[in-house]
Amino acid sequence: MISIAEAIRAALLTGEPRAKVMATRALARAWRCGGLAWDFAVGMPERPTWPAELELLPPNRMPRRGKGGSLRGAIALWHSLAHIEFAAIDLALDMAGRFGSRMGRAFVGDFLAVAADEAMHFALIERKLRALGSRYGALPAHDGLWEAAFGTRHDVAARLAVVPMVLEARGLDVTPAMRDRVLALGDRQGARILQRILDDEIRHVAAGTQHFVTECDCQGKVPEIHWKMLVKRHFRGALKPPFNDSARLAAGLSRDFYAGVA
Ligand SMILES: [Fe+2]
Ligand SMILES: [Fe+2]
C-alpha cells in the first residue's frame, strides 16, 4: 500500500494542471476509503511543481487585473483566480503531508478535503477560462503564493496563522464584491462559481482556525495573542479592511484576532 506522504508528494510534484487535479482528487478519495498507509517517512518537496509554461512574476510586476469588463479583462480576472486556486491545492497538500504525522488523522483528513475542494475550484475556473478562449498558463502569474508556505515550513502554528487564517480569510473579504461585479456584467455562471468558492472557503478558514486554536492550547498559548505575533513575524503584507466580519465569524475568526492589527 502506498503511504500518505508518498501520494501527497507525487501530487505536489505533478505540474500538468489537469493531472494535478486528478491526482489530488484520487488521493483524497483513497484517504477517505482507507487506501493509504499512515506513514510520513517521505519528505515534502521544497517547492511544488507548477506548469512549465507558466511565467512567474514578482507580485509588484504583475499587470493590473482590471474589473473584468472586456473579454481581455475577464480572461485576466479568471486567470488570476485560477492561479490562486492552483496554488491553494499545493498549500493544502503540503499542510497535510508536512505536518500530518504530528497533528494526526483529523488534521490530515481536513486538509486533504480542502485540497480536493481547491482542485474542484481550479477545475471550474479552468473550464471557464477555456470557454473564454484562454487557458491556465496563457498569462503570467504572481510568484508570491508559495513564499508564505516556504517561510513557515518548520512551524505548523505559523503555517496555519498565515495560510488559512490570513490568505484564505482574505478571500472571504474580497469574493462577495467580485461575485457581485461579475453578476452585474451579466455572467451568472461566473457568479455561481464564486459563490460556491466563498461557501467552501468559509469551511477552509474554519478548519485552519480550529486546528490553530487546538495547537495553541497544546502549547499553552492564547490563540489571539499568538496569532498576532506569528502574523507579524511571518506575513509581509498588510491586513487590509474592509473585513467580511460575518463570513470570518462563521469561520471562527472573531474580531479579537484581527482587531488592532489592520
Ligand atoms: Fe479555493
Ligand atoms: Fe481554500
d(CA 78, CA 128) in angstroms, rounded, equals 8
Amino acid at 248: R
- The single residue listed with the C-alpha cell 508564505 is 148
d(CA 65, CA 78) in angstroms, rounded, equals 10
Which ligand minimizes its atom distance to the CA of 122?
Answer: 1
Q: Is the pLDDT assigned to residue 184 strictly greater than 90?
A: yes
Biggest CA pair distance of the chain:
53
What pLDDT, in 10s, does the model give residues 99-140?
Answer: 999 999 999 999 999 999 999 999 999 999 999 999 999 999
- Cα-to-centroid distance, 259 and ligand 2 (Å): 23
Q: What are the beta bridge partners of residue 3?
A: 37
What's the pLDDT score for residue 60? 80
What's the pLDDT score for residue 123? 98
Mean pLDDT value of segment 221-226 = 96
Which ligand minimizes its atom distance to the CA of 114?
Answer: 2
Q: How would you classify residue 221: left for phi > 0, otherwise alpha for psi between -120 and 50, otherwise beta?
A: beta
What's the pLDDT score for residue 236? 85
What's the pLDDT score for residue 66? 61
The grid cell for 63 is 499587470
- Cα-to-centroid distance, 216 and ligand 2 (Å): 22
The grid cell for 201 is 472557503
- Cα-to-centroid distance, 201 and ligand 1 (Å): 6
- Mean pLDDT, the chain, whole residue set: 94
- Cα-to-centroid distance, 79 and ligand 1 (Å): 14
Which ligand minimizes its atom distance to the CA of 91?
Answer: 2
Q: What are the beta bridge partners of residue 56?
A: 141
Give the three-class secondary structure for 57: strand
Mean pLDDT value of segment 58-86 = 85
What's the pLDDT score for residue 31? 97
Alpha carbon of 110 to those of 125, 140, 188, 252: distances in Å?
23, 31, 30, 16
- Cα-to-centroid distance, 8 and ligand 1 (Å): 18
Q: Residue 182's closest CA among 191, 174, 173, 171?
A: 191
Sign of the torsion formed by the C-alpha atoms of 253, 259, 261 and 262: positive
- Cα-to-centroid distance, 227 and ligand 1 (Å): 22
What pLDDT, in 10s, does the model give residues 27-69?
Answer: 999 999 999 999 999 999 999 999 999 999 987 877 766 665 7
